[in-house]
Amino acid sequence: MNNEQYFSISSNALLLAFILLLIAIVPFGFATKSRHTVSWKSALALTWIAFILQIIYFVCRWKAVGHAPVSNMYEFMTFFGIMLIGAVLLISYLYKQWSIGFFALPIALIVLGYGSVFTNKAAPLIPSLQSNWLAVHVITVAASSAVLSVAFVTGLMYLLKTATTKTRSTKWLELVLFNLIVVVGFILISTLCHLFFSPQTVEFINKGGQTTVATYTLPIIISNDTEVGIIKLTTSINAKKLNTIVWSFLVGIVLYLIIRYTTRKTLCEILKPFTLRMDLRLLDEISHRAILIGFPLFSLGGLFFAMIWAQIAWGRYWGWDPKEVWALITWLFYAALLHLRLTKEWEGERTAWLAIIGFGLIVFNQVFVNLVIAGLHSYA
């Protein structure tokens, strides 16, 4: 087979896997509430088939591009989603808590959907990416992030089970769920605009005083001449990013209001019934074990392997690049979490919230730092 055929197989396999995971949420939901054996088996069968299709995507894309497909944002987020499904299947099997799938699959779908917003076209690797250590570094980081994401999921389940309508903790939990809806809003508006909206170009004067052009893939609400408070956006790059953020929140708010209006319930109230059969001590234990597994992996991939690649690519092990700084912050956070767990006996709700904050740091590091903060990793 030629490269085009491999590309076609990989794209179709990934799309089919996404559809199967979306369908699997339904039997997972029935099984979580009723413990119905047929629902469990159906959900697991769909998830395993989807996972196998994701592996087929990865292998075929590797054959097509000639290197490990983890070199851009589309490939990384897609591989992150694959590893998350694999981690969920593994930990759920070890602990026999298949209800984790009901809450983890939507997170995996959001990760995959977010990755699909970026171009899936393969491009020649720049010199700094032409290293096997890049693949080792990124694959290990994705695997560790996936395992740590399981701690986020079980932490979320723990807090949902203990949530009451009048506590401050529940309000913060609702905000976490709302932010997930905002990401869904970004995926939805980006996909719709890709299908039905023609990109617009805007001329602007860059910082060097030269006239250049920026291409907007979303309808323009904020451009380079828009006043934001007392700040005037002087570069269309900043305006594009802010324009995207505004659209994401607008669509996210609309989706959230539709859910609230049609159900007359908060997101916490909608999801809480799916946690009634869960054991809080077991959820806390799974969160802790996931962090115990994910933290050493992140130490290897996010720091040790990353420094080896940095030495090969840029001639130094550490340079205080924004991505390096936030990787260190993330590592220190999880190190502190484990320290507090082991020495101060922080567990239960405290561990759940720390797992959620840690996941936020991972997302911030893998997404925001790559796309917004200028640095050596901006090519992603």
The two beta strands, 200-205 and 227-228, are unpaired
pLDDT > 90? residue 67: no
**Whether the predicted pLDDT of 378 surpasses 80:** no
Question: Is the pLDDT score of 204 beyond 50?
Answer: yes
The predicted pLDDT at position 31 comes to: 82
Reported as a single tens digit per residue, the pLDDT across 37-46 is: 778 888 889 9
Average pLDDT over residues 203-208: 64
For residues 139-147, average pLDDT: 92
Count of CB atoms situated within 10 Å of the CB of 167: 11
**367 — pLDDT class (breaks 50, 70, 90):** confident
Residue 354: C-alpha distances to residues 106, 204, 357, 368 (Å)? 21, 43, 5, 20
Mean pLDDT of the chain: 84
Q: Which two tokens stand for residue 93?
A: 């099997």
Interatomic CA distance for residues 27 and 185, integer angstroms: 25
Write down the pLDDT at residue 206.
61
pLDDT for the residue numbered 255: 95
Phi and psi of 116, rounded to 5°?
-70, -15
pLDDT of residue 353: 93
Strands (DSSP E) along 233-361, which ranges? none
Neighbour-count burial of 81, counting CB atoms closer than 10 A to its CB (0-12 exposed, 13-18 middle, 19+ buried): buried
Over residues 331-360, the pLDDT tens digits come to 999 999 999 888 878 888 889 999 999 999
Q: Which residue has the higher pLDDT, 282 or 167?
A: 282
Res 231: pLDDT: 46
Share of the chain above pLDDT 70, in %: 89
**Of residues 365 and 239, more confidently modeled:** 365
Tens-place pLDDT, residues 222-265: 766 655 544 455 555 567 777 888 888 999 999 999 999 999 99
The pLDDT value given to residue 210: 67
pLDDT given at position 53: 95
- Say what the pTM is: 0.88
Average pLDDT in the 69-77 region?
Answer: 87
